[in-house]
Chains A and B, each alone.
Chain A
Amino acid sequence: DVKVTQSSRYLVKRTGEKVFLECVQDMDHENMFWYRQDPGLGLRLIYFSYDVKMKEKGDIPEGYSVSREKKERFSLILESASTNQTSMYLCASIRLADTDTQYFGPGTRLTVL
């Protein structure tokens, strides 16, 4: 079974702190994605990566950056957390030769105080 894991299920940070959210997949997938999910807004794509060291902005990249140094790991960075970044963050991955599904991690509920 494909497994996508995220470093934390729940995280509480203060305004201005630097926050790292990590995502790891164990199936050699090329594509990895970071979304945030908010009530009434659904999933919105923040960034995605189609290969090591490659990244593309999604629909809402402002205030975020990403890092993909290894194929299995995709990190989301909040350089200076703000209260409007309180949200559920979901990581996902997919292999291009297998476009049946996008596999999701369990999510990280981030609260910024």
Chain B
Amino acid sequence: GAGVSQSPSNKVTEKGKDVELRCDPISGHTALYWYRQSLGQGLEFLIYFQGNSAPDKSGLPSDRFSAERTGGSVSTLTIQRTQQEDSAVYLCASSLSSTNEKLFFGSGTQLSVL
């Protein structure tokens, strides 16, 4: 596709369950970022991948959060044992490289933890 694609667009889960959120970046973009947008808050950086380098995980809020990027393309953000405070919009963005400042954002996954 032409843009960054995220799925699902909405996810409702029960507290304690695991969830997986998917991001398909723009073809050819080597840098991929995950951000979290909580209600009334700005975007919070979570993690980024650049090519085959080790990801920068400095923004992950706890060890319940993890992400991987397979084949330098699609990425999956996994949240284990979800808590109500995990409810937020999870945004994925990609760019040509980590030294290119123009981010292209997906529409996000709205996660609701009941």
Asked if A and B are interacting partners, one says: no
